Every structure is written in C-alpha cells, then in structure tokens.
Structure 1
C-alpha cells in the first residue's frame, strides 16, 4: 500500500501567496485603468469644446489682400467718341463660415492620434473700394460736355472694376494663400487645447471643396457626433 504524499507547508504557502499576488496585481491594474479612464483628458471632449468656441466666432477671416483694377470704357455718339480709364484699388477678405461647422466635420482617430477637421469652402467678400484712392482720366471732352457720357463711363468702370478685383482675388495662388492661412489658424485652435491637456495629437484641416486625398483615413475615423452620441 502506497503512502500518501504530504506536500510541504511551504509549497502550499508559496502557491497561495502567488495566487494572492496575481489577484492583487489584477485588481491594481483594473483600478488603475478605471482611474485613468476617469481622470485622463478625453480628446473628443476637448475637441468638442474647441469646436463650440470656433462656432461662436461665426465667421473667420484669417487672410486679406489688396488689389488694383485698371479698366477702360468707351462710348460713341453723334460721330463723337469718349473714353475713360479708372484705377480702382480695393481690399478683399477671405472668410470661412464657422457657423456651418458641426460635429460631423470633426473626426478623431485614436489609433494615429489624429484629429481631422473639414471646413466649409473659403468665401471671397465683396471688395471694399478705397474711394479716396480712385483715379480716372480720359478723352472726348466734347461728348462728355454735351451728354452724360462721363457719368455713364464712370459707372461702367466701377462695375467692371469690382468684377476685376474679384477675378484677381479668386485666382488660384491667392485662394491657396487664403486656405493656408485659414488652415493654420484652425489647426492652432484645436491643437493648443489638446497640447495643454498633455495630448500629443496631429490636427489635419481640409476644406469641403478640396480633392479628397485620403478618404480611407477619414472613413476609419470617428466623428465627434458618433463618439459623443455613444456616450450619452
């Protein structure tokens, strides 16, 4: 008859101690995870606060430029002719309607720590004409004296001048400069609060009328509307 084997007390003690340590370690890990989830800054909450702040600004103008239009109009009547040339300077501002931003336009990708922001297209405001700097000159004094040719030509030049100023302002190089300035301003608005909270994140801003270069990245990101909606 075989004698029963008796496990030494020290072996049982060490095994029990190991189990207790594992349980304690697991409990500490769970507790630490819970505390971190409660106390760690939430990037989506911070981004949503930044979004609300931007929307309160209503319109953002981060870029402006001054242009000069030179236009000429001619008129013939009674065998006579008149010509007027107008030099018209004006200031144009480039704006983004931040009131149109929504939570759907801001997406957080936790895997890459990237915040993607989609802005409305940049709008060009009507030119602010510098009336004191307008200069006009021309020829055909006889026709201007006999008729309202001067007033007619000046009115035509003012209309054509405004159209020319807008044409210059909407040229691709100017629009790109305006987008770059706006993009930098909005990126700072989102990046600074995240950095202050200790979150290392990259902020990418694009415009609604930009070609989509990385649709896949946007698709895997979760918009603030989705994230915050799930938390409610």
Structure 2
C-alpha cells in the first residue's frame, strides 16, 4: 500500500535523523547517496507497491445459432483491478544522485495491472431460454463465453491510456515521497527527487554516482581509513 511505503520512508528518516551524531563522528555527516541507498533497500523489502485501484464494468453478449434458431445471453460483470509497481526490480543503478543540481533521480519499473478480481455477487445475466435453449441446453456455453469475454474486456479497460496515466502519476508521487522524506529528515531540505519510468529516462547523466552504498559499506570504509 502507498501508506505503508510512506510510513517506511518516515521511519527511515527518523532513524537517520537519530544517527546524525554517529555519522558526524565517523565520516563527517550523512551523505545523500547513503540515505538513498537505505531508502532503496527499504523499498525493495516491500516487494510490491499498490499505487492505484479501480473498478470497471463489462457488458458482453454471446450468441449461438442451431437448427435455424438463435439464442443469446448478456452478462454485466464488475471487476476490481490493482495497479502495482514491482519494487524488487529496483536496482542500485536506478537510483542516481546529481550533486550539482542536488537531484535524486529514481528510475522505477513500469506499472503492472493485477486482476481483475470479478465480483460475481453483483453480476447480472439476461436472456437465454427459447426454443434453442430448451433443445440444446446452450445456456452453459453462452455463460462460459460471456465470462471469458468479460474478463478480457475488463483487462482491456484497465490497460487503457487514462487509467494507466493516473496509475503512473500515483506511482511517481509515492516513490518520490518515499525517497524525499528520509533526505529531508536528515537535513537535505533543498534536495529534489524525480521519479520516472524507463521509457522516460533517455540517456543517463554520467555525473550521477555509479552505485549507492549501504550503511555498513560506508562505516567499514571509514574504519579502514582510521587504521
């Protein structure tokens, strides 16, 4: 959930804020790269982030003809879908800090559609019966065809331009907040966070750091320098 991601980011920020004294003593203050690395590890631990949800309704009609007669049934089927980001796909190279502009750029995996979860309790079916229905018992065939077509239609609606645009914007905002809050809690008030998708990235700026480091790596390096 988005709220969970924000809560985790806030916790990271509080922890970082509480350890500023340690960093000041060991390496002369926290670094944005280290904070971003900790945020990245926290995000990956959540696995999947639910950024948006929507309900759609499909209306499908199937028809069968036999012996010169025809029969048709219409199904009205609502279904819920979730729009998720697979945070496990976030890599170290997807998080880049530009010291010159004080901008953290996060390249996030594209939004995935989960579902639909159909609401059979609110499904409505109409039609059927008639001569062909009585002779050949076509209702089960029509119902099966309608349900398959309805699920396909729900997925198509979910993947349309408008809901995908809304879901991607929600993902950008959620990811940006999750990285921005720890930075601000650690004192980097003027840091900017830009979340974008791979197809929006273009070429990578070579001035970005090659790889973010974890807390342990930073502390180990500082310990080696003191020897």
2:141 to 125, 133, 152: 152
Matched, 1:193 2:182: yes
Query: Taking CA–CA contacts closer than 8 Å with sequence separation of 6 or more, which of the two structures ends up with the larger relative contact order?
Result: 2
Deviation at 1:39, TM superposition (A): 2.9
Structure 2 residue runs of 5 or longer lacking an equivalent are 1-23, 222-227
Matched, 1:220 2:207: yes
Matches within 5 A, 1:61-140: 61-140=50-129
Deviation at 1:121, TM superposition (A): 1.2
> Counterparts of 1:74 and 1:194 in 2: how far apart (Å)?
60
Structure 1 residue runs of 5 or longer lacking an equivalent are 1-34
2:195 to 185, 190, 205: 205
Q: Which runs of 4+ in 1 moved over 4 A?
A: 225-228
Matched, 1:166 2:159: no
> Counterparts of 1:59 and 1:224 in 2: how far apart (Å)?
23
Largest Rg, 1 or 2: 1
1:92/1:102 CA distance change after superposition, 3 Å: same
> Counterparts of 1:50 and 1:211 in 2: how far apart (Å)?
22
SS at match of 1:219: coil
Query: How many aligned positions are there?
Result: 194
Matched, 1:59 2:48: yes
Deviation at 1:226, TM superposition (A): 8.2
1:42 to 24, 27, 31: 31
Query: Normalising to structure 1: TM-score of the pair?
Result: 0.78
2:131 to 115, 126, 142: 142
| Conserved 8 A contact 1:106-1:223 | no
> Counterparts of 1:39 and 1:157 in 2: how far apart (Å)?
66
Q: CA RMSD in A?
A: 2.1
Matched, 1:175 2:137: no
| Conserved 8 A contact 1:108-1:223 | no
Cα deviation, 1:120-163, whole Å, max 9, x if unaligned, reads: 11111120000101001014522122223111111111111011
| Conserved 8 A contact 1:71-1:87 | yes
Deviation at 1:220, TM superposition (A): 2.7
SS at match of 1:117: strand
> Counterparts of 2:129 and 2:31 in 1: how far apart (Å)?
72
> Counterparts of 1:130 and 1:94 in 2: how far apart (Å)?
18
| Conserved 8 A contact 1:73-1:83 | yes
| Conserved 8 A contact 1:105-1:223 | no
